[in-house]
Amino acid sequence: MATYKTNDFRKGLRVEINGEPYMMVEMNFVKPGKGNAFYKCKMRNLLRNTILDRTYKGGDSLESADVEEVGCQYLYKQGDTFYFMNNVDFDQYELSADQVGDYWKYLTEGMKCQTVLWNENPITLTPPNHVELKVEYCEPGAKGDTATSVTKPVTVETGAEILCPAFIEIGNVIKVDTRTGDYIERVNHK
């Protein structure tokens, strides 16, 4: 494993601390003209998304983390395991329900996603920002409910419930923002 010395420190560096992968998101060099150099760093834990503040002194070092982002597509789910395939080398990846988190709501077969590999194992999943999902079930809207301010839950093809305007009907395709879980628009397929 490679080692980074303090003078290699920079934003974007992937390092391992206490056996977990981190990305350096901020690095600030502080040094009195005649004194010790310090490196004030903020690091994001790539497993848990938490931020770690650490100060290092000149000459300290950090272990590099073998972290890589790859494109993949969603295949299927079996039990609590989600299966994905690398777009380039067709390697298959397994992610647990915990690792996928709320994103299960947006996964449809063949959807192109990104995953972060740590020591060649997938650790996190990022779906596209916007996905299109077919509405499988909803209560009919009352006549004249055309305003977008009135919402109702609809069930989409993945089994998830999304809050939509009242005019959405079974069979419609809706666009959803995966970062917020919000309905964006109804998609009119030509």
Partner 1 sequence: MAYLLATNGLDRGQAYELVLGDNVIGRDADCDVHLNLPSVSRKHVRLIADDPHFTISELDSANGTKINGHQLTNPVSLQPGDVIKIADLEFSFVLKLPNITENVSGSNRTDFQPAAELSVLQRRSELLAQVRAFFCDHGFDEVETPALSIDTVVDRHLSPLSVVIHDETYWLQTSPEFHMKRLLAVGMNAIYQITRAFRNDEKGPYHNLEFTMLEWYRTSWSTDDAITFLGSLVTTILSTGAHQVFSYQQAFMTALEIDPLEDSTAKLLRCIAGLDFQPPENWRSMDRDGWLDLLFTEYVQPTLGLDVPTILVDYPLSQAALARQNPDNPKVADRFELFFHGVELANGYHELLDVQELRRRNERSNQQREQDGQPRLPQESYLDTAMQSGLPDCCGVALGFDRLVMLATGVPDISKVIAFPFDRA
| Chain positions contacting partner 1, by CB under 8 A | 6-7, 28-38, 53-60, 69, 71, 87, 112-114, 126, 128-131, 177
Residue closer to partner 1 by CB (options 33, 144) is 33
Residue that is written with structure tokens 């056996």 in the block: 19
Rounded to an integer, what distance in angstroms lies between the CA atom of residue 62 and that of residue 56? 10
Cα 187 to chain center, whole Å?
24
Task: Kindly state the smallest distance separating residue 137's Cβ from partner 1, in Å.
Answer: 25
Say how far apart CA 42 and CA 66 lie, in whole Å: 19
Are the CB atoms for 108 and 175 separated by under 8 Å? no
Q: Closest CB to partner 1 among 48 and 130?
A: 130
Nearer CB in complex with partner 1: 141/181: 181
Please state the closest distance from residue 181 (CB atom) to partner 1, in A: 13
- Tell the smallest beta-carbon distance from residue 108 to partner 1 (Å): 12
Q: Computed over its alpha carbons, how large is the radius of gyration of the chain?
A: 22
The rounded distance, in Å, linking the Cα atoms of 131 and 108 is 9
Q: Which is nearer to partner 1, 170 or 187 (CB)?
A: 187
Cβ–Cβ < 8 Å for 37, 31: yes
The answer to whether 65 and 19 have CB atoms below 8 angstroms apart is no
Nearer Cβ to partner 1 (90/144): 90
Q: How far is the CB of 187 from partner 1 (least distance, A)?
A: 11
Q: How far is the CB of 150 from partner 1 (least distance, A)?
A: 22
CA distance 67 to 23: 9
